[in-house]
Chains A and B, each alone.
Chain A
Amino acid sequence: MVDILIDWLVALLQTLAFVVLAPLFASLVKRVKCRLQNRRPPPWLQPYRDLRKLFGKQVLLAETASPLFRLAPYIVFAVTVMAASVVPLFAVDLPTAATADAIVLVGFFAFSRVFLALAGMDVGTAFGGMGASREMLVGALAEPALLMVIFTLAMVASSTNLSTVVTALLHQGVILRPSLLFALLALLLVAIAETGRIPVDNPATHLELTMIHEAMVLEYTARQLALIEWAAQLKLTLYAVLIANTFFPWGIAEDIAPLSLLRGMAAVVLKLALLGMLLAIAETVVAKMRLFRVPGFLALALVLALLGMLSYNVLEVT
């Protein structure tokens, strides 16, 4: 009984860590990018200050907004937190990972995307509709690729439970499987598209021809905007952790002894720092694509994911 309670406590702690540390990861990416581009970086805690400022402001709502518009940020945030509770951050064998497996995780992402898009269309401006339409296009191509990556992982580990997948990959050791290689490449592409980073979308832009995510949330202000921004940072961190912990699971805590938990935390911080720097470098050297190049980019992700799945089923099944 006490064991179960501690398990749940660790899971809760993990989710909380996700929520609290997500802005920090975003901050890291931003700082490294600034350094690479010879700009003076904002302080480490800048995203937290932004959030605090937004939470303290008065909400300005469009006259044409319906209740759905006001509700959407809360739904998006809550669902993203649920998604965070499923992904192992520093320890595996979570009880929360059993309530929702990796396919449900994709469902969570889809749920928050649908609500963001609906909110974008709610006010009735051209920007909102444009953002919603583009976001759904990107989602429609990225989601199947993500699902196929997950199918590949699930077949390799013969489980769709993320904790089990991580454990299984951890115990198989470093075997260079072609299927996992393809899946990793596909997941990297999907992560870039789904979190709205360059070259698919630019989180720093407000130029209408290129906006996707920003166009959808253009009408949000104050705490509603804060929740959406926070959820976006959380999603970025989620994808990073997903990449780091499934394909490079080393160091993650397999039991809940304090020492291994600490080791798990250190490992994940190290992995995330590396991944964040990589993302910043990629965003510095790659230029933003035209919108109609994006389907080609995502089609590549789809094909890679499909190849991963097929190469497992054709080559690796014994």
Chain B
Amino acid sequence: MQLSLGLPWLPWHLRLDALAGLFLMIIGLGTLAISLYAPAYIEEYRHGPQPLAVLQIFTGLFIAGMELVVLADDAFAFMVAWELMSLASYFLVTYQHQHAANRRAGFLYLVMAHISGLAILLGFGVLAAFGGAFTFAAMRAADPGLIWSSVAFALALAGFGMKAGLVPLHAWLPEAHPVAPSHISALMSGVMLKVAVYGFIRVVFDLLPAPHWGWGVALLVVGSVSALFGILYALLQTDLKRLLAYSSAENIGIIFIGLGLAVIFIGTGHTALGILGLVAALYHCLNHSLFKGLLFLGAGAVIQHTHEHDLERMGGLLKPMPWTGLLFLIGILAISALPPLNGFASEWLIFQTALQAPVLQNGVMRAVIPLAAAMLALTGAVAAACFVKVYGIAFLGQPRTRHARHPHDASTGMKLAMGLQALACVLLGVFAAPTVALLERIPAVLLDARLPSATQLGWLWLTPIAPEVASYSAPLVVLGVLAAVGTWAFIRFWLRPRGKVGALRRGPAWDCGFGPLSPRMQYTAESFSQPFRRVFRPAWQIREELVKSPLESPPFWEIRYQSQLGDITWNWLYQPLARTIQRAAQQVGRLQTGHLRHYLGYSFVTVLVLLWLIS
């Protein structure tokens, strides 16, 4: 569809295909949830220094920007929409700009969003140069050759990867997500990162000619590193929203592992397996948008009612906030990839794709793919530990501070929003086969090929490669668990005469006979992750400080322990880069002498050079 917008000689085009449809649905689900959630949530900002209208207008622009990105059918409209999305979200991140930390986070986000925009623009530039026009149709028809398509691929990976939060380009993510209002974090993490993934899929699987398998290896490496790094960093965080932000980097990594498998298999001629990888990646996109949205909304409810961001200051929230607690639990089960929830279904599909590595001819790749699968397995297991920590520290145990003692539960709209997403998590997990059948239409449009057998046994059975190779039936699993519980209940309440055992009695928890337990004796988030800290030590940059100072009476010491967790990529990538840029800027700065005669000289030389060029 051509719009009468844009420039006279460069109209905008819109198109809705299956791929755009899926991502529109992701945007729509996210928007629906936050539109139920936000009215109650933004009450908190009503008496703040900023007008609410700012928040509302930019939220609207942000959502419109994302939808336009997905619908755009030419590079011009895409980039305009992309910038609209980036800028609107910048203003949302810095909504509470009275805090210096928020301004700093917002600036970092803005800088990185623009570098990513530049890389994407250059990538489209390469494609447009060969296609001769800015429309996607022209780009699709052109064949830039292997070298130039690899350049375009690299630019797209850098640009979209930065926006999606791939490690090591993720630096803005853990800064920007915690400072934005929670429903905006949910939108940014749940939806905007997916829009970046959409852009990447559009370029690599649609606009570029048939992908080369080497790109897949690059994606696999980047994805695995991102997944493992993201979850290891998430594990050590104590700020709830920062932790969720790092876990977004992990999930984007998982999506890119799926995309990498897809590229490798398509690039080596195993299209059916490639499609499976692509479907798994798309499935995980959808899943992540739901459970991460749910977790951010839950975190928002907790923060609104306790005014605490730090896990160490929460505790026992399940009792005063039963609904939020229950829905959050579904979220952590889904994100920890436990059956029968949705996170498991998509990771299962990625594993199944990876297990087909022996069909490949190249020995190196047969070895690389299992390594990526191993990284994914480790990531999943650490993710479970990470989210057990989150839930155990925040919602279970006893309240650690006064604020955590008597919060109210979330209001109806907020509960409804979270309930919707939790329900979607359960349904997408249990009805995996119908979901895959729907998702499969996307590669059918993009690559003109279908999965041979994913749902051939009907809606109960998910059989990605063939029924005898692997099958999974989440509905029957649920049925089985229900049957086991039912049998138990039958034995317990039917066959056993009641009253013989006696009602349950409550007493104090076991305190080893040393007197009453206090909430300060509980395990903290820091102590929960301490063993992990010892095991995976090299992954982090931890500054620890132990100060011992004697008190008045000699045998007693005051001991203070401090530890600070830094992101290792700052040391290895960002700071050297910043220093280099600074140095280069200083060299260039020498030109700026401040004397008028020098500037006149520059102009004169410039005119001379231009004249020489023309003549």
Contact = CB atoms under 8 A, between A and B. Distances in A.
B351 A98 contact: no
Nearest to A69: B396
Given A60-B505, A121-B392, A124-B509, A130 B381 contact: no
B398 A58 contact: no
Interface stretch (B124-132, B370-378, B448-456): B370-378
A194 B277 CA distance: 31
A154 B465 CA distance: 13
Interface stretch (B1-9, B112-120, B193-201, B523-531): B523-531
A60 B380 CA distance: 35
Interface string B420-456: 0000000000000000000000000000000000000
Nearest to A129: B523
A118 B388 contact: yes
Interface in B509-558: 509-511, 517, 519, 521-523, 527-532, 534-535
A225 interface: no
B337 interface: yes
Contacts of B528: 129, 132-133, 136
Contacts of A117: 388, 392
Interface in A51-95: 56-68, 74, 77-79, 81-82, 85
A64 B377 contact: no
B366 A314 contact: yes
B502 to A, nearest CB: 4
Nearest to B358: A317
Contacts of A158: 358, 469
A134 B344 CA distance: 24
Contacts of B500: 56
Nearest to B473: A99
B39 interface: no
B39 to A, nearest CB: 30
Interface stretch (B19-27, B97-105, B242-250, B480-488): B480-488
A139 interface: yes
B339 interface: yes
Contact of B315 (A59, A124, A137, A314): A124
A274 interface: no
A312 B355 CA distance: 12
Contact of B381 (A79, A143, A151): A143
A114 interface: yes
A160 B355 contact: yes
B137 interface: no
Interface in B482-503: 484-485, 488, 500-503
A139 B396 CA distance: 21
A306 B374 contact: yes
A132 B488 contact: no
A117 B354 CA distance: 30
Contacts of B316: 64, 66, 124
B385 A137 contact: yes
Interface in A244-296: 291-292, 295
A223 B476 CA distance: 27
A121 B351 contact: no
Interface in A130-169: 130, 132-134, 136-137, 139-141, 143-144, 147-148, 151, 154-155, 158-161, 164
B380 A143 contact: yes
A291 B373 CA distance: 28
B318 to A, nearest CB: 5
A126 B357 CA distance: 45
A264 B521 CA distance: 52
A110 B338 contact: yes
A233 to B, nearest CB: 16
B532 to A, nearest CB: 6
A267 B499 CA distance: 44
A170 interface: no
A121 to B, nearest CB: 3
Given A132-B523, A134-B531, 18 more contacts: A56-B500, A59-B505, A62-B506, A64-B397, A99-B471, A103-B351, A113-B384, A114-B384, A117-B388, A124-B316, A124-B522, A132-B528, A136-B389, A136-B528, A144-B380, A305-B374, A310-B371, A313-B370
* 9 pairs of A and B residues whose beta carbons are closest in the complex: A129-B523, A121-B392, A124-B397, A136-B385, A144-B377, A59-B504, A62-B509, A143-B381, A124-B398
24 contacts: A61-B504, A61-B505, A63-B509, A66-B316, A66-B396, A67-B318, A78-B485, A82-B481, A99-B472, A111-B333, A114-B384, A118-B388, A121-B397, A124-B519, A126-B522, A129-B527, A132-B528, A133-B389, A143-B381, A160-B469, A219-B509, A292-B534, A306-B370, A306-B374
Interface of B: 315-316, 318-319, 329, 333, 336-339, 344, 348, 351-352, 354-355, 357-358, 363, 366-367, 370-371, 373-374, 377-378, 380-382, 384-385, 388-389, 391-393, 396-398, 461, 467-473, 476-477, 480-481, 484-485, 488, 500-511, 517, 519, 521-523, 527-532, 534-535
